[in-house]
Amino acid sequence: MKACKSVVTGGAGFIGSHLTEKLLTDGSEVVVVDNFSSGRIDNIKHLMKNPLLRIMRSDLKKPRRLRELFQECDVIFHLAANPEVKVNETSTRVHFEENIVATFNLLEALRLVDEPKVVVLASTSTVYGDARQIPTPETYGPLEPISTYGASKLSCEALLASYANTFSHRGLILRLANIIGPKSNHGVIVDFVRKIRSNPKCLEILGNGTQTKSYLHITDCIEAISHLTDRFCNQKENIDICNVGSEDQITVREIAKIVAREMGTPDIRYVFTRGVNGGRGWRGDVKNMRLSIKKIVETGWKPRYTSKKAVELAAADLSKSSSVA
């Protein structure tokens, strides 16, 4: 990625910390904005001696000094969010506050700066809901999320599009598949690692195990973000949307086998909860997801890893990680 002045909201989180490292490696000045509610200082501790890095502890729900910060930067990578899809069953406000309100506050601060900026928004495949077209292209519609998480991210997309078109800023929306790898602290692989550590004889699997989705390794994800951001900065569109994912899928049952093998418990007994609504793991769980990545491939980027290989790499790392407790 070309060196510039960047802000990374949620820069101490899973994807954010990897992106921060990439930006610093490329010679960019980076300001990490994080409230450390889910992000961890350990994720960026090894970067803290870098003179190009500045850390700003701030909550986007009650932001301070954002206008001054944005005035100085070129690109804002907006990754701060509550990423847990399942949380909507018990706390329906969390996605509204952590995702929609936070994004609105960011855009309001941006509205007041003097020069147009580029905002790169980390969105999600869940905005498509139960898509009837697989693989699902960016042009698919109508968009009907089945979780409050997906709905909140779709709202963030709409807010960014409206501010970009009304106030002359520019927005790049990236609809991410399931991103996995080192530093991840949620998702199916982390869930399986925790459960096997707790009980190496029996593994509970939410749903019926046939849920089929695409997974992208974090290294591929960061390269895609870098590639698309550079490309977008050299174009003139106010808003662009691009899927970021792998070219294939893998089932939850297959993931369980890979994680069990990495944990040294290949003969562990599986117990399926059977789930809800035809084998979903929870209400709001998209049972079949594969994004069309034709658009990004046509720009010259392709993932290095298949979904299976990405799961194998992530499972090997997370099964040894002390941070997954």
Q: Which member of 128, 140, 149, 305 is catalytic?
A: 149
- CB 176 within 8 Å of CB 221: yes
- CB 281 within 8 Å of CB 207: yes
Q: Which two tokens stand for residue 156?
A: 């963030």
Per the listing, tokens 């593994």 go with: 203
Q: Which two tokens stand for residue 152?
A: 């909140």
3-state secondary structure of 55: strand
Residue 270 bears catalytic tag? no
In 10 A of CB 321, how many CB atoms? 14
Q: Which residue type is seen at 95?
A: H
Residue 159, H or E segment: helix 148-167
Measuring CA to CA, how many Å separate 281 from each of 63, 187, 196, 205, 252? 35, 12, 18, 8, 10
Q: How far apart (Å, rounded) are the C-alpha atoms in residues 302 and 232? A: 17
DSSP 179-219: EESTT--SSHHHHHHHHHHH-TTEEEESS-S--EE-EEEHH
In 10 A of CB 294, how many CB atoms? 12
Q: How far apart (Å, rounded) are the C-alpha atoms in residues 116 and 203? A: 51
- CB 31 within 8 Å of CB 50: no
DSSP state of 46: G
Nearest alpha-carbon partner for 223 in 108, 119, 304: 304
With a CB cutoff of 8 Å and minimum separation 6, the contacts of 222 are: 15, 18, 19, 22
Q: Which residues are catalytic?
A: 149
